[in-house]
Structure 1
Amino acid sequence: MKVSVNWLREYMPIALPANELAEKISRTAVEVEGQSRPQGDMKKVVIAKVLSVVPHPDSDHLVITQLDAGEDEPIQVVTGAPNIAEEQTVVLAKHGSLIGDGVKIRRGKLRGEKSNGMLTALQELGMDNSVAPKELEAGIWVFDEADAADLKPGQDAFEVLGFDDDILELGITPNRADMLSMNGTAYEVAAILDEKAQLPEFSLAESDETTESLISVTAPEDLAKKYAVRVIKDVHVQDSPLWVQRRLWNMGIRPISNVVDITNLMLLTYGQPLHAFDYDQLPAHELSVRTATEGEVIKTLDGVERKAQAGNIVIDSAGEALMFAGVMGGESTEVTDQTTNVVLEAAIFEPKAIRHAARDQNLHSEASQRFERGVDVEATFRALDHAAALIAELGAGTVTKGRVVAQDFAYEAPVVKVSTQHINDVLGTDIQTAEIAAMFERLGFGFEELDGEFAVMIPSHRWDISIPADLIEEVARLYGYDNLPATLPTGETTPGKLTTKQQLIRDSRHTLEGLGLNQAISYVLTTPEKASQFMMADATEAVEVNYPMSQERRVTRGSLLTSLLDDVAYNVARKQDDVSLYEQGRVFVSNGATALPEEIEHIAGVVTGNVRDRDWDQAAQPADFFYLKGIVEQLLADYGFVDNVRFETNTNRPEMHPGQTADIYVGATFVGFIGQIHPLTTKMYKVGQVFGFELNLTTILELPRVKSTYEPVSKYPSISRDLAILVDRQVESADLVARIKENGGADLHDVTVFDVYTGSNVADDKKSVAYSLRFVNYDHTLVDDEINAAIDNITKALQTEFDAEIR
């Protein structure tokens, strides 16, 4: 929101320089993001009157002008401006002047004729073409006769054009939408400076003809809590006077015509959007507020045909949608130079519906911004009357008698109670009741006070205040944040530490990074197709967001592996083929249309390419299932579960290779899966062979775990024995290892597979598996009899359960 300091000075006396005022606003209300003065470094630009215009003797497009610039002698200037004429009042950059972009103007000759300056357009004085009332190609800036009557040759042009104004750029926060108007900003500045803001006054004259005889309006309360119109007849649409245009272009709005400019002026003054219709272009002399039907077409003021979506609020006449209410007007009823009768509309529309329409149509206008955040309900009809009075005054029209009102919300000032004691307890101050009362008076809040207990009536322009904490903030702002004492917190203090969940996540990251994986952070939003991939057994359907940024990011992910595969594809597309990544984050599971989705903490990893580069003395080692399984086993081992970890083959995961996929269990609890990504899936991502895993950390966190303790190294030597067995091919090694550990006794420390053989001398349906068993005792040196007894127990169990043959 741009704020004109000169305009603010019309509300109250402000002696402070603009930079000091900006500092006070930043410290008390909202941040001042920028400060500028349109004049900048420009100088020596004055008002001049054209005395004569004669053709240049050596040019078809140049003319020689004599100008009265308030000096003893006329100034001669050669110009090619197409719109120059005698008796005009124009802007002259004199010899030695400095204008936009640092251009210096000096005496010279054009085709042999002396030129002692330059006649300028507003763009040549630094005004942006999007704000200037006329295009640069149209020629120099010429003042209207009415404006020129008050100007004198030689007068400072920057003062006349308002370029000497200081413009503050306010960063309006959502809770301070009241400052999206000059009135609201004036209230705030008056409170800061302890002044009284004088709001603009106007006089409205009405004709005898009644408005209700000319037009009827209807509006349901749920769409518009306030809605009314006025009619102004016999209007002459023309350029606005200079004072109106000056205010608009300094606030970043392009002047168009007196009718449109006045609606924009009221928008800036009151924060109340208004809309003007051409009365004679209405399909019928009626207006109604309704919701749009799906696909209804409206051609808006920007010339674009837009299809309304169900729920958008539109203004209707005789069944035809004319405009998107509160967002943008329609071209069919636009006010033009041919307009003579104007219908002026003021309303307060339902904020959520306006926000949806602005997003649906990608039309975030000045009006929609204010309707979305809120407007002053007590200023709506006042802005309507003020605009009607100005249109009649500047357009030589007449305002018909009365407003036609469809809805008129009655504002009842809410009462918020707070005490001096509570304010001081929260702020740590010792502010007296009288000081607090004075602050509420500065803010324009009515109140009743008894023994330090305040009952504060909140005015309509401060709809952001509803609870005691809001009033405490108001007191703190005016008291000065810098004046609040620095105090230590009271109460029992506790040492800060990570929660169990935070520690688990941090330990998981350390383990995976120590095993060679790099962390990835990916988008939570994805496509519906990807969101349905790799879902865990407890997942149902993807969660769709209401207002997606794009079609590729419109549902929440159900798995981390899809995000990691996107990362792999990104790297592979850039010739980075060896990728090892992990990600820890949340997936989302739908709990139905009415409930919030469930957020579940997961951790996942992928490896592709080589995990060890080729060297002069060794071949490259490509990633495979067992490499990744070793990583996952180490991660799970670090968790220290009470129950055993086991892997079970699963051929029913459609995105995973059916021959290289296993579900992971801790005891009887499913915690995740591991395996090769199905070739059809990796083909969709345009990558080669990828191996991945995904674990449910939320489930893992609930499982019983053993606290890690230091275990000293045994003083006694360990003993290793090898055991080779012949079993059916379908028997899984994990089952064999489990039985070995169950029957190996307390001294069996670990079991490792070191060979698997199939081929000659082994039946086609058999395989030979060799294990290395290491035995350790912490109290004495093991002897052969103890080891042999353990081996006998193991072989008997394997023979009984798996029909194993000991080799």
Structure 2
Amino acid sequence: MLVPVNWLKEYVNIDDISIEELEERLVMSGSKTECVLKTAREVEGVVVGKIVEVVKHPNADKLLITKVDVGENVVQIVTGAQNIKEGDIVPVALVGAKLPGGIKIKKGKLRGEVSNGMLCSAEELGFTENVVPKESKNGIFILNGEFVLGQDIKKALDLNDYIIEFEITPNRPDCLSMIGMARETAATFKRELKYPAINIVNEIEDINDYISIEVKDKDLCRRYAVRAIKDVKIAPSPMWLQLKLMKAGVRPINNIVDITNYVMLEYGIPLHAFDLDKLCGKKILVRRAVEGEIIKTLDGVERKLNQNHLVIADSERPVAIAGVMGGEDTEVTESTKTILLECANFNKTSIRNTSRGIGLRTEASSRFEKGIDPNIIQTALNRVCQLIQELNAGKVIKGVIDIYENKLEKKCIKVRPERVNNLIGIKLSTDEMIDILSRLELEVKEKENVLEVVVPTFRQDLQQEIDFVEEVARIYGYDIINSTLPKGAVWGAKTNAQEIESYTKNILYSLGFNEISTYSFVGPKSLDMIKIPEESFLRRTVKLINPLGEEYSIMRTTLIPSMMEVLTKNINRNVKQAFAFEIGRVFIPHEVPVKTLPIEKKVLTMGMYGDDVDFFDLKGAVCTIFERLGIKDYEFIPEKNHLTFHPGRCATIVYGNHILGNLGEIHPDVIENYGIDNRIYVADIDFDMILGLTRLDRVYKPLPKYPSTSRDMALVVKEEVYAKDIEDIIRENGGKILEKYRLFDVYRGKQIPDGYKSMAYSLTFRALDRTLTDEEVNKVYDKILKELMEKLNAKLR
């Protein structure tokens, strides 16, 4: 929000306050500033001049020789500008003048003709190109109105001014206006706020003879009001109006459009003017668009609408996209004689979705989507009519058509002064609090040591007691609130879940993994990238109402896409090897569309790639984590139907009847979707379930008194036999004396038939109460071997 200080002074007297103090105090009272600019700060020696003669340059087709009256004398200036004529009032940089960029004007000759100065464009006075009127764009700044010739241009155009740019938070749409910022200024400096005096005289006829209004979709339009003006005279706005708009970042168009923009900036509520004679059937209908309906907006673009878009229509077609932009068919032009002024209150969510859906964001939509006070609509309409009368731009037709059934009422909220003081850490009297709140135009009454605060409808952000604590604190002054230490004993400790999470992270750090943190919101395409089936529950997502963009429009149901993006980015930056993990939440809705809060589940996702990295590195890392967390009796089951993973290099982690997660090599098709060639390995584990299985307590046993004995077993089995199949049989038949077993070799090659492999195990036997005999060990060994031969067709190598 750009706020010209001289315009601000029209509503609150701050002549005695320096710009430095003004900015500092407003910042400390909660109005964050982006910057402060001085208008025409590098402009010196530029005066008002009148062109009295224009002739072609005798030696150059594209140059003109002008004679310019600058008050005390007439000077000759050669210019290449083509938008000037005799009688134009223009800014003139005399010899010795200084312009932005260090430019100094000198006396010279252009193609043999003397030039004693320069005619200036608006840009050369410090204005940006986007606010320059069209008639002065790429040319000399033509001044409209009466001026004193020879007067310093900064005084003539009120350029001895400062412009403060404020960052307005979404919860304070009331501050997207000059009056809103004046209200903040008045409250901060204990000054009186002066509202514009609105007085309309000589109204004629009756508006009901000109137009009828029907609001069909009242859920999207809370209030809709119109006034009409006849005998309109379209012309350039007076210079004071153009300059105010330009300083506030708005390009002047014509008197009618400029007045509506002026009032929008003044009151913070957008207005729109239709050429009433171009409205078919002399009727306005506020309705949802018909699917596929087309409207050509004021920017000349044809836009296709759907039934989610609200439009303003006449009896035949849409004439405006509600809250966003008007239509070209009813645009106010130089031939317009009668206008219809619209001011409305639209559903902010609808406007936000419409603006995003059609790809068009305007000054109007940016205000409507934050929420507009519906109770200032008639005030804004009357203000426009008043200014039209003052500029002699038309005759105001009597009456207002105002459809407002569901009126927004003021709220009364109770505030406890003791509570306010306790939270802020100060000791303000009740009277001081009443004074602060009253300066913000809140109606306050004290009743039994409680303040009953009536909140005006322009402050829709004030909903509960804590909001008033902030209001008191910021107006009192954050900078003068003394720092104090908290009272009482403060204790803190991690919960068991937090301890386990920290311990798990330390395990992963020790294994060489780096922790990453990614956004909880992703785009629908991320699920396509990892080939999630359409029927998968992972497609049931929580959609954001106000996303930053399509790529951040849903809450994630899996962390794999985020992990893939991180690893892909590292690959594209020539990082040869990476090990990463994230413990984050996924969001699973109970139903779609979402009606209740979704299930939030913590997930551990691990990812790795590199020249010497394979599936078993990832599996080993998972096993290490489970071992150190005291999780036993889990299994890795081959998985061939998970579309994200390679069908021959993927496993499901199972604990009893529960699935803990999946791990494996990412499917080549998924790799191709990310535009890389590397093999990537990812594990996706339900961390909430891990928390329930973790056993960090340790039971220590004495060292065994009796020796162990071992046997090696080399088996030839078919390729499709898994190590787990062999180990299940070894474990089931090992009895009480089998202490441990370990796979120490897998061999394929000479002496091993095609389609077979050799798997060698070391088996360790021990009894806790005696020394084992060979007969005891051989008996168990033979039993194991027999079962392997019978069930797996294994042969002893």
Q: Structure 1-normalised TM-score? A: 0.88
Deviations 1:455-488 (A, max 9, x none): 1221232222121212222111121112323233
Match of 2:543 in 1: 545
Match of 1:311 in 2: 308
Match of 1:468 in 2: 465
| Alignment partners' CA distance in 1, 2:248 and 2:753 | 90
| Alignment partners' CA distance in 2, 1:535 and 1:695 | 19
Q: Is the 8 A contact 2:214 2:286 kept in 1?
A: yes
| Alignment partners' CA distance in 1, 2:58 and 2:345 | 62
- Counterpart of 1:647 (choices 636, 643, 659) is 636
- Counterpart of 1:185 (choices 181, 186, 199) is 181
For the pair 1:636 / 2:626, whether they are aligned, the reply is yes
| Alignment partners' CA distance in 2, 1:465 and 1:626 | 58
Q: CA deviation at 1:450?
A: 3.3
Deviations 1:270-296 (A, max 9, x none): 111110000111122111111112221
Deviations 1:327-355 (A, max 9, x none): 11110000011111111111111211111
Q: CA deviation at 1:110?
A: 2.7
Match of 1:46 in 2: 47
Secondary structure of the corresponding residue to residue 354 of structure 1: helix
Spell out the pairing of 1:50-89 with structure 2 (5 A cutoff).
Answer: 50-53=51-54, 56=57, 58-71=59-72, 73-89=73-89
Q: Is the 8 A contact 2:62 2:80 kept in 1?
A: yes
- Counterpart of 1:351 (choices 348, 351, 364) is 348
Alignment-mate amino acid for residue 723 of structure 1: D
| Alignment partners' CA distance in 2, 1:156 and 1:287 | 49
| Alignment partners' CA distance in 2, 1:295 and 1:275 | 24
| Alignment partners' CA distance in 1, 2:334 and 2:731 | 94
Deviations 1:655-701 (A, max 9, x none): 54444443222344321233444555555555365544332212222
| Alignment partners' CA distance in 2, 1:659 and 1:667 | 23
Q: Structure 2-normalised TM-score? A: 0.89
Alignment-mate amino acid for residue 175 of structure 1: N
Deviates more, 1:757-766 or 1:390-399: 757-766
Match of 1:693 in 2: 683
Match of 2:335 in 1: 338
Q: CA deviation at 1:317?
A: 0.3
Deviations 1:749-807 (A, max 9, x none): 54211234567777889765322234689x99x8563x763553354245357647767
Match of 1:380 in 2: 377
Q: CA deviation at 1:372?
A: 1.6
- Counterpart of 2:659 (choices 656, 670, 681) is 670
Spell out the pairing of 1:439-478 with structure 2 (5 A cutoff).
Answer: 439-478=436-475
Secondary structure of the corresponding residue to residue 48 of structure 1: strand
Match of 1:253 in 2: 250
Spell out the pairing of 1:197-346 with structure 2 (5 A cutoff).
Answer: 197-220=193-216, 221-346=218-343
Match of 2:413 in 1: 416
Alignment-mate amino acid for residue 722 of structure 1: R
For the pair 1:164 / 2:153, whether they are aligned, the reply is no
For the pair 1:362 / 2:359, whether they are aligned, the reply is yes
Secondary structure of the corresponding residue to residue 489 of structure 1: coil
Match of 1:525 in 2: 523
| Alignment partners' CA distance in 2, 1:115 and 1:578 | 69
For the pair 1:773 / 2:763, whether they are aligned, the reply is yes
Question: Against the structure 1 CA distance between its residues 192 and 710, is the aligned structure 2 distance closer, same or farther, given a 3 Å change threshold?
Answer: farther
Secondary structure of the corresponding residue to residue 175 of structure 1: coil
Secondary structure of the corresponding residue to residue 360 of structure 2: coil
Q: Is the 8 A contact 1:232 1:343 kept in 2?
A: yes
Question: Against the structure 1 CA distance between its residues 3 and 692, is the aligned structure 2 distance closer, same or farther, given a 3 Å change threshold?
Answer: closer
Q: CA deviation at 1:223?
A: 2.6
For the pair 1:399 / 2:396, whether they are aligned, the reply is yes
| Alignment partners' CA distance in 2, 1:182 and 1:681 | 54
Spell out the pairing of 1:710-729 with structure 2 (5 A cutoff).
Answer: 719=708, 721-724=710-713, 726=715, 729=718
| Alignment partners' CA distance in 1, 2:273 and 2:289 | 20
Secondary structure of the corresponding residue to residue 673 of structure 1: strand
| Alignment partners' CA distance in 1, 2:8 and 2:658 | 69
| Alignment partners' CA distance in 2, 1:58 and 1:657 | 79
Secondary structure of the corresponding residue to residue 458 of structure 2: coil
Deviates more, 1:312-321 or 1:98-107: 98-107
Q: What runs of 5+ residues in structure 1 fail to find an aligned partner?
A: 612-622
- CA RMSD, aligned part only? 3.3
Q: Is the 8 A contact 2:134 2:253 kept in 1?
A: no
Q: Is the 8 A contact 2:38 2:163 kept in 1?
A: yes
Match of 1:616 in 2: none
For the pair 1:496 / 2:532, whether they are aligned, the reply is no
Deviates more, 1:188-197 or 1:544-553: 544-553
| Alignment partners' CA distance in 2, 1:254 and 1:120 | 18
Secondary structure of the corresponding residue to residue 744 of structure 2: strand
| Alignment partners' CA distance in 1, 2:641 and 2:51 | 90
Deviates more, 1:25-34 or 1:100-109: 100-109
Deviates more, 1:334-343 or 1:104-113: 104-113
Alignment-mate amino acid for residue 159 of structure 1: K
| Alignment partners' CA distance in 2, 1:590 and 1:531 | 21
Q: Is the 8 A contact 2:12 2:185 kept in 1?
A: no
Deviates more, 1:272-281 or 1:586-595: 586-595
Question: Against the structure 1 CA distance between its residues 732 and 493, is the aligned structure 2 distance closer, same or farther, given a 3 Å change threshold?
Answer: same
Deviates more, 1:233-242 or 1:110-119: 110-119
Alignment-mate amino acid for residue 114 of structure 1: V
Match of 1:194 in 2: 190
Q: Is the 8 A contact 1:230 1:345 kept in 2?
A: yes
Secondary structure of the corresponding residue to residue 347 of structure 1: strand
Q: Is the 8 A contact 2:523 2:550 kept in 1?
A: no
Deviations 1:32-67 (A, max 9, x none): 111001211211111123444555554555444444
| Alignment partners' CA distance in 2, 1:383 and 1:74 | 46
| Alignment partners' CA distance in 2, 1:494 and 1:551 | 43
Question: Against the structure 1 CA distance between its residues 166 and 68, is the aligned structure 2 distance closer, same or farther, given a 3 Å change threshold?
Answer: same
Secondary structure of the corresponding residue to residue 326 of structure 1: coil
| Alignment partners' CA distance in 1, 2:202 and 2:331 | 24
Question: Against the structure 1 CA distance between its residues 244 and 486, is the aligned structure 2 distance closer, same or farther, given a 3 Å change threshold?
Answer: same
Q: Is the 8 A contact 2:255 2:393 kept in 1?
A: no
Q: Is the 8 A contact 2:532 2:539 kept in 1?
A: no
For the pair 1:122 / 2:115, whether they are aligned, the reply is no
Match of 1:626 in 2: 616
Deviations 1:57-83 (A, max 9, x none): 545554444443343x43333334434
Match of 1:620 in 2: none
Q: Is the 8 A contact 1:417 1:454 kept in 2?
A: yes
Deviates more, 1:85-94 or 1:240-249: 85-94
Match of 1:591 in 2: 590
Q: Is the 8 A contact 1:601 1:698 kept in 2?
A: yes
Q: Is the 8 A contact 1:162 1:250 kept in 2?
A: no
Alignment-mate amino acid for residue 591 of structure 1: H
Q: Is the 8 A contact 2:312 2:319 kept in 1?
A: yes
Q: CA deviation at 1:742?
A: 5.8
Question: Against the structure 1 CA distance between its residues 207 and 716, is the aligned structure 2 distance closer, same or farther, given a 3 Å change threshold?
Answer: same
Deviations 1:225-264 (A, max 9, x none): 2211111111110000011101100000000000000000
Deviates more, 1:412-421 or 1:503-512: 503-512
Deviations 1:474-508 (A, max 9, x none): 111121112323233244422333x4434444443
